[in-house]
């Protein structure tokens, strides 16, 4: 079977959840050799991804230098150009994320979360307009099968769009435990020096945006029994990030709060491993890859008790109500000061993370492709 895959998520220079999901699954699908893959990508100016499987007997590249805005508008208004006109005939199209698509062929679509539907207050008007023009409801209704990254996202799809649960399959992200693993102090020394990290710190690592409850983390850190421990906020700047910087400026412990900005994936395992705790009390998640990565590195994890995060963390971390600052503060203090709890969490995390592998996810996705009869 020839499968056309939209790899446009990989154009994002700051690789986070969706691009990493796309990259890791595409690599493993190509290694499996069960199908032929036509990789589609388009951008008028961004560099094309160079870390995808190269062209060979079963992989073809179809990369175009056309303005995405014009193509998206044409797809939205006229239903052209069709994907088969750009990559040739195929049996099935796969979209690793919601994107503009016109095709007469069957397709499967992965939905990572419905945060822009459930919580539009966390998104800019431009972001909401783009998703509206892409036509999520229409695409979901036309898809042969819909893939959710968690049971929570599956439930959201049935509740919000009335999709039949039998049309939805769950393929969770994985974690590369060869890369994300507990590292010894000697292995984290270079990263500590590179970023000027203190001896003890609480880490947040994700996009700096309101949905991630970063201001709640800052308030909780102010309340927690942290001693000389610092708070390290790591990630690219998202919508309304200015509010986060203002919150730091108003914090009592502002001198012990630092921003690192976006960090490369190669540095993340050492950051997690060096951290005394990882805090992720997000208001809404479709899955929660940073929490999974931290677990794999043996870092004590504090995460929300809501949406998808309990599926990821289970009993290997501390689950808190994201709306209760004092609860987040208690968890931070407990992770930092209770040595028995810390020891338990550091041992439980990698075991829990071992349930989520990219190989298992790719195998599951291949079986889903086989379900679809062109």
Are 144 and 104 within 8 A, CB to CB?
no
Beta-ladder partners of 36: 2
* pLDDT computed for residue 124 by the predictor: 77
Cα gap 76→85, rounded to integer Å: 16
Per-residue pLDDT of the chain (374 residues; tens, 9 = 90+): 999 999 999 988 777 889 999 999 999 999 888 899 999 999 988 899 999 999 998 999 999 998 888 888 888 887 889 999 999 999 999 999 988 888 999 999 999 988 878 877 777 777 777 767 667 888 899 999 999 999 999 999 999 999 999 999 999 999 999 999 999 999 999 999 999 999 999 999 998 988 999 999 999 999 999 999 999 999 988 777 888 999 999 999 999 999 999 898 899 999 999 999 999 999 999 999 999 999 999 999 999 999 999 999 999 999 999 999 999 999 999 999 999 999 999 999 999 999 999 999 999 999 999 888 66
Cα gap 35→50, rounded to integer Å: 21
* pLDDT computed for residue 74 by the predictor: 87
List the structure tokens of 339: 């040595």
Cα gap 263→345, rounded to integer Å: 25
3 state SS of 321 = coil
Cα gap 154→106, rounded to integer Å: 21
- pTM: predicted TM-score of the whole model, two decimal places: 0.91
Are 37 and 55 within 8 A, CB to CB?
no
Are 336 and 198 within 8 A, CB to CB?
no
The region, left, alpha or beta by phi > 0 then psi within -120 to 50, assigned to residue 12 is: beta
Q: Which domains does the chain have, with CATH numbers?
A: 2-174+357-371 (3.40.50.2000), 185-353 (3.40.50.2000)
Q: What is the DSSP letter of 35?
A: S
* pLDDT computed for residue 112 by the predictor: 92
């Amino acid at each position: 079977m020839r499968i056309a895959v939209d790899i446009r998520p990989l154009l994002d220079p700051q690789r986070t959840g969706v691009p990493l999901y796309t990259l890791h699954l595409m690599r493993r699908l190509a290694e499996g050799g069960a199908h032929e893959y036509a990789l589609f990508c388009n951008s008028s100016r961004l560099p094309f991804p160079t870390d995808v499987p190269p062209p060979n007997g079963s992989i073809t590249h179809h990369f175009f230098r056309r303005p995405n805005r014009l193509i998206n508008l044409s797809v939205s208004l006229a239903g052209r150009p069709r994907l088969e006109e750009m990559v040739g005939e195929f049996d099935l199209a796969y979209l690793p994320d919601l994107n503009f698509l016109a095709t007469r062929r069957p397709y499967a679509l992965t939905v990572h979360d419905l945060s822009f539907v459930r919580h539009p207050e966390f998104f800019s008007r431009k972001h909401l307009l783009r998703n509206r023009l892409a036509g999520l409801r229409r695409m979901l209704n036309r898809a042969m099968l819909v893939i959710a990254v968690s049971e929570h996202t599956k439930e959201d799809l049935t509740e919000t769009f009335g999709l039949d649960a039998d049309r939805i399959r769950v393929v969770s992200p994985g974690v590369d435990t060869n890369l994300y693993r507990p590292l010894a102090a000697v292995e984290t020394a270079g990263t500590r020096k590179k970023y000027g990290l203190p001896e003890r710190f609480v880490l947040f690592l994700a996009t700096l945006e309101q949905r991630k409850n970063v201001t709640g983390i800052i308030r909780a850190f102010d309340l927690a029994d942290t001693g000389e421990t610092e708070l390290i906020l790591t990630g690219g700047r998202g919508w309304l990030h200015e509010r986060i910087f203002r919150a730091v400026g108003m914090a009592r412990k502002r001198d012990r709060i630092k921003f690192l900005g976006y960090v490369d994936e190669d540095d993340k395992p050492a950051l997690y491993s060096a951290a005394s705790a990882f805090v992720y009390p997000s208001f809404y998640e479709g899955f929660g890859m940073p929490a999974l990565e931290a677990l794999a590195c043996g870092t004590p994890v504090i995460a929300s008790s809501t949406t998808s995060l309990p599926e990821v963390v289970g009993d290997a971390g501390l689950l808190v109500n994201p709306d209760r600052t004092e609860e987040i503060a208690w968890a931070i203090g407990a992770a930092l000061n209770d040595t028995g709890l810390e020891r338990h969490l550091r041992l439980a995390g990698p075991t829990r993370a071992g349930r989520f592998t990219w190989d298992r996810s790719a195998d599951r996705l291949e079986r889903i492709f086989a379900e679809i009869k062109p």
